[in-house]
Amino acid sequence: MTDPAAHDQPSPGIPSPPGVPDRPGPVRRLYLWVLHWADTPYGTPALFLLSLAESSFFPVPPDVLQIALSVSRPKQSFYYAAVSGVGSVVGAVIGWLIGFAFWAAVGWFFFDYVPGVNQENFDRVQQLYSQNAMLALFGAAFTPIPFKVFTIAAGVFQVSLWELVVASSIGRFARFMLVAAFIYLFGPAVKALLDKYFGLVTFVLFVLLIAGFVAIKYLV
């Protein structure tokens, strides 16, 4: 099978993400650096590495590059979703290993330099894990919640690796396949809507999913 990365074409004009000012500050520069890989022959490996890194330390979600690549080649949308999913699960395992084996040595670095990783968030995640670790991991994997906080904390608080892998696989693949489905069905026109409302869409779907589980528990 020919790797679609060999045929990646430059994507259409990509607007800045919502809330990011026109002035090229650090966040926007990082965002644009991620997007520039869509205009190179290395879009697919970059997507894999970005997905891996985002699950353990990188601040920009892989969705932005996945969308840009998929808009260029809508028929390959599900391929790019699979690349995102595999990379993200591998990154989740790396995040778990960081928390499980190396946290005493490197925790200070994450608290000081990695956005979203702080003691307050760790305390919240620990409480969620004490209630239902699998559900907490799935929710973080499927929604735009910073996933690296949950993967690293899973290792710190000794959540089992199999729970992490199962929840990450289901949640991350579901999230990326949802993006692929929108692009495949509606094409480039849906990109602006995904950029603006994807967080809301995934949150609503997650709430509906949990409501379904609750209904099954009490009504069946």
pLDDT in tens, 70-84: 888 888 999 999 999
At 34 the pLDDT is: 82
- State which amino acid sits at residue 174: A
Nearest Cα to Cα of residue 62 among 169, 159, 146, 164 = 146
Q: What is the mean pLDDT of residues 39-61?
A: 91
Q: How confident is the prediction for the chain on average, in pLDDT?
A: 80
Q: What is the mean pLDDT of residues 148-175?
A: 94
Which residues in 170-206 are b (16+ Cβ under 10 Å) and which e? bbbbbbbbbbbebbbeeeeebbeebbeebbebbeeeb
d(CA 71, CA 187): 6
73 class by beta-carbon count within 10 Å (0-12 exposed, 13-18 middle, 19+ buried): middle
Q: Which domain holds residue 197?
A: 22-219
At 58 the pLDDT is: 84
Q: Is-above-0.85 flag for pTM?
A: no
- The tokens of 18 are what? 């919502």
Taking only the tens place, the pLDDT of each residue in 127-151 is: 989 999 998 998 888 877 788 999 9
Query: Looking at per-residue confidence, does 194 or 22 come out higher?
Result: 194
- The answer to whether position 12 is within a domain reads no
Q: What is the mean pLDDT of residues 104-133?
A: 88
- The answer to whether position 9 is within a domain reads no
Please tell me what DSSP assigns to residue 86: H
Query: Looking at per-residue confidence, does 200 or 210 come out higher?
Result: 200
d(CA 40, CA 34): 11
- The answer to whether position 16 is within a domain reads no
- The answer to whether position 4 is within a domain reads no
d(CA 92, CA 83): 14
Q: How far is CA 8 from the centre of its chain?
A: 21
Query: Looking at per-residue confidence, does 36 or 81 come out higher?
Result: 81
Angle at 9 between CA 8 and CA 14, to 5 degrees: 115
- List the single range of 1-15, 59-73, 98-112 with lowest mean pLDDT: 1-15
- The answer to whether position 2 is within a domain reads no
At 17 the three-state DSSP class reads: coil
Which residues in 1-23 are b (16+ Cβ under 10 Å) and which e? eeebbeebeebeebeebeeeeee
**Per-residue pLDDT band at 93 (split at 50, 70, 90):** very high
Q: What is the mean pLDDT of residues 194-214?
A: 56
d(CA 176, CA 119): 29
In the chain, the number of structural domains is 1
- The answer to whether position 1 is within a domain reads no
Phi-psi label, residue 187: left if phi above 0, alpha if psi -120 to 50, beta otherwise: left
Q: What is the mean pLDDT of residues 175-191?
A: 82
Asked whether residue 193 carries a pLDDT value surpassing 50, the answer given is yes
- The answer to whether position 14 is within a domain reads no
d(CA 27, CA 5): 26
